[in-house]
Amino acid sequence: MGVCRNLSFLLLFLSLLQFLHHSSSLPLCIDSSAPLPQKVPLSFCSYNGTSCCNSTDDSQIKNQFKAMNISDSSCASLLKSILCARCDQFSAELFRINSRPRQVPVLCNSTVLPNFTQTSQAENNYCSKLWTTCQNVSMMNSPFSASVQGQAGGGVISNSTKLTDIWKSQSDFCNAFGGASDDNSVCFAGEPVNLNSTGTSIPPSGLCLEKIGNGSYLNMVAHPDGSNRAFFSNQPGMIWLATIPKQGSGGVMQLDEANPFLDLTDEVTFDTAFGMMGIAVHPNFLTNGRFFASFNCDKTKWPACGGRCACNSDVNCDASQLPPDSGSFPCQYQSVVAEFTVNGTASQPSLAKTAQPSEVRRIFTMGLPFTAHHAGQILFGPTDGYLYFMMGDGGNSGDPYNFSQNKKSLLGKIMRLDVDNIPSAAEISQLSLWGNYSIPRDNPYTEDKELQPEIWALGFRNPWRCSFDSVRPSYFMCADVGQDTYEEVDLVMKNGNYGWHVYEGPNLFNPPKSPGGNTSAKSINPIFPVMGYNHSAVNKNEGSASITGGYFYRAETDPCTYGMYLYADLYAGALWAGIESPENSGNFTSNLIPFTCAHDSPISCTFVPGSTLPALGYIYSFGEDNSKDVYILASSGVYRVVPPSRCKYTCSKENTTAEVTTGPAPSPPSGATKLTNPYVNLVFLRVSLWLLCLL
């Protein structure tokens, strides 16, 4: 029995290592922040343009290099490049900081060219080159010595060392500092990392849809049990648990409107810009039954709704001086995140069909200065388990009080909260928190003391629908609604500033009025959108446009769309596919794609007169089920992406003879980029072994 237990633990440990090891690369700094364009070229390190270093970092690296006192010029040149690798836009991956801290980057050491970096065999053997050049050169405070302090065989290292003082051979040295090149990771070869382009993906010839539901919903969240069930919520405040039909079955969504999972219509204020804005299930929902809702309420009708006003002295704002907005007074309406539970309704939370209507805990409450731009979506991070809460700038044209750039304001921000460790009432008061949550220790405020501790990223106008890529969870995509001319999609990173109201998309913005002051463009390092469109693309008169964020398409149903980011415009009924090239570069191109409804749709589609374009109405949101199939939540109903052949679209990768089935965690289609993920197999093996040991 002890052997079984040990083997089981070992397999779980290996599965976790594999999961960490096979996370894909994208431009990211060691501290998990985004690399930024440098306004002034670095004087020492040759990383200009987009970099993870500023002039202060550059100066510190220069001083470190001088202190090493390397006499050999050839070796000095190599060591300089290694120290400066911290400035590389891929430094987080080069230093593998998430799996184990390193003093030096992973040095390329293989006879096989890596997927991401160098273009010649000589460059790929950079570790060998470093050993040959520097093995007998003395170095003061060598970073290679620091890397082995305290490790087996490391011993106590003197301030001045040669590589041969510690390692007996090139093989030993490169085993310690070299990196494999066949694991979908980057490695360092003496120069900035450049991604190899393996060809540009072609936009799909069209997106085929089927209509499976008539209801109008704002949110869809797959049930965490892996089944074909999902939670749907509407803006007035109702949440249902629905059963989704199998692909190709001809069935429709099963949802009992008379028996909701949770009814919050008495608490929720419903209007054009108000309502239930988000729902989320806890990562451990199957055992704890915790469920979260984000909604708006009116404190004049429900006193329990009231909280602090977002316009307060901490942000140099006087609520009494704010102009009335749409007949309301400042902070009459609130943005709320509340926790509910299914405990008591079923012996096992996964079997529960309803939730308790009373709140378990009020997570967050904040008064809104105006009646628009308060976003409200909530998501749990797939790797960290923290709750991400999207908040708009509070409303009024041009963010006149500059809330989005004010680091003490939570408006125009994405927040990151720990809802598992609830502090005491005294601690909440002392920390000036807005509710019952704690602050993750690695939130950006630890690096930028001016930030409120809840803030993960800033500079948003109204982030409307965000999602994590199910294959590459480091890709956190948010659509941000523009004002006059531009709608944008942002790749959100820790401590990123996305520009509003200094910029609207990639363009400088001049607020029509700014009683709250302005932020200088020179004082920020904005991260510009990776995708987006001008209003003229959907409305020739530069009129109404409002972006709706979607998902990276990861289902096997439409192999020609696999890996592309789908998003839409709320008003125009237009769809885009964002294609990244090279892969994992963060560089995208957007393609407006045609779409139609299958002739054999389970529910007949209504078409725009004189065209094959379905009359979707308003595209409120997107959804994703446990098979990674993507759904469009529109005012006219629920639509699902189906095989392109059902709409007579051409897709050379589609297997028209195979039955399309629904199931958890489908594999990428043949010909699509595929990251090997032995994690699932190892976990399955561990469970199988554990069950075997019980027999």
Q: Per-residue pLDDT for 485 more than 50? A: yes
Q: Averaging pLDDT over each range in 39-48, 168-177, 486-495, which range is the top one?
A: 486-495
**pLDDT of 582:** 86
Please say if the pLDDT value at position 165 is more than 70.
yes
| pLDDT score, position 121 | 45
The values of phi and psi at residue 388, to 5°, are: -100, 130
181-195, 336-350, 567-581: the lowest-pLDDT one: 181-195
**Is the separation of the CB atoms in 23 and 32 below 8 Å?**
no
Q: What is the mean pLDDT of residues 400-408?
A: 97
Q: With cut-offs at 50, 70 and 90, classify the pLDDT of residue 195.
A: confident
Q: Are 335 and 378 in contact (CB under 8 A)?
A: no
Q: What is the pLDDT of residue 585?
A: 86
Which range, of 119-123, 199-203, 453-457, 516-520, averages the lowest pLDDT?
A: 119-123
Q: What is the pLDDT of residue 100?
A: 58
Residue 386 has pLDDT above 50, yes or no: yes
Instruction: Give dist(CA 435, CA 304) in Å, integer.
Output: 13
Percentage of the residues of the chain whose pLDDT score is greater than 90: 66
Q: Mean pLDDT check: name the lowest of 13-22, 87-96, 121-130, 305-314.
A: 13-22
Residue 601 CB burial class (10 angstroms; 0-12, 13-18, ≥19): buried
> Tokens for 598?
């299958």
pLDDT bracket for residue 672 (50, 70, 90)? very low
Position 193 scores a pLDDT of 84
Provide the 8-state DSSP code for 85: G
Tell me the C-alpha distance between 239 and 664, whole Å: 23
Share of the chain above pLDDT 70, in %: 83
63-89: burial string, b at 16+ Cβ within 10 Å, e else? eebeebebeeeebbebbbbbbbbbbbb
Tell me, what's the pLDDT at 419?
Answer: 98
Q: What is the pLDDT of residue 11?
A: 41
Q: Going by DSSP bridges, is the β-strand pair 588-593/178-179 parallel, antiparallel, or unpaired?
A: unpaired
Burial class (CB in 10 A: 0-12, 13-18, 19+), 534: middle
pLDDT of residue 397: 92
Distance of alpha carbon 144 from alpha carbon 303, whole angstroms: 62
Contact 547, 479 (CB under 8 A): yes
Output the pTM of the full model: 0.84
pLDDT at 327 (0 to 100):
75
User: How much is the pLDDT for 283?
Assistant: 97
- The region of weakest confidence among 209-213, 482-486, 682-686 is 682-686
Does the pLDDT of residue 232 top 80, yes or no?
A: yes
Q: What is the pLDDT of residue 150?
A: 40
The dihedral sign for the CA sequence 537, 538, 539, 540: positive
For residue 319, the SS3 value is helix
**pLDDT on residue 348:** 87
The mean-pLDDT minimum among 19-23, 95-99, 186-190 falls in 19-23
What is the reported pLDDT for 113? 42
Higher pLDDT pick, 694 / 339: 339
φ/ψ of 84, rounded to 5, equals -75, -10
Interatomic CA distance for residues 438 and 428, integer angstroms: 8
Q: Residue 683: which pLDDT band, with cuts at 50, 70 and 90?
A: very low
Under a CB-based contact definition with an 8 Å cutoff, are residues 262 and 340 in contact? Answer: yes
Pair type for strands 238-243 and 262-263: antiparallel
| pLDDT tens per residue across span 24-42 | 567 888 888 888 888 788 9
Residue 173 dihedral angles phi and psi, to the nearest 5°: -65, -45
169-195 burial, b if ≥16 CB within 10 A, otherwise e?
A: ebeebbebbbbebeebbbbbbbbbbeb
Which of the listed ranges 46-50, 146-150, 168-172, 220-224 does the model predict with the highest average pLDDT? 220-224
> Distance between CA atoms of 376 and 390, rounded to whole angstroms?
5
pLDDT digits (tens, 9 = 90+) for 200-221: 678 999 999 999 999 999 999 9
Give the β-pairing of 207-213 and 595-597.
parallel
Short-list 636, 638, 542, 649, CA closest to 593 = 649
Distance set, CA 373 to CA 43, 106, 460, 622 (Å): 42, 44, 10, 19
Q: With beta carbons less than 8 A apart as the criterion, state whether 187 and 104 touch.
A: no
What would you measure as the largest C-alpha separation in the chain, in angstroms?
Answer: 81
Nearest to 328 by CA among 377, 275, 372, 266: 372
Confidence band of 184 (pLDDT split at 50, 70, 90): low
Terminal-to-terminal C-alpha distance of the chain: 10
> Looking up tokens 């090997």, which residue turns up?
676
Q: 555 and 247 in contact (C-beta within 8 Å)?
A: no
User: 428-443: per-residue pLDDT in tens?
Assistant: 999 899 999 999 999 9
**DSSP H helix total and E strand total for the chain:** 11, 33
Rounded to the nearest integer, the mean pLDDT of the chain is: 86
Radius of gyration of the chain (CA): 27
Q: Evaluate if residue 116 carries a pLDDT over 60.
A: no
Decide if 651 contacts 254 (C-beta within 8 A).
no
CB within 8 A of 399, min separation 6: which ones?
A: 373, 393, 412, 461, 500, 501, 511
The DSSP letter of residue 12 is H
Q: Give the position of tokens 């409307």.
A: 464
Whether cis (ω within 30° of 0) applies to the bond prior to 501 is: yes
Our CA angle for 216, 222, 224, nearest 5°, is: 150
**Could you tell me which residue, 569 or 2, shows the higher pLDDT?**
569
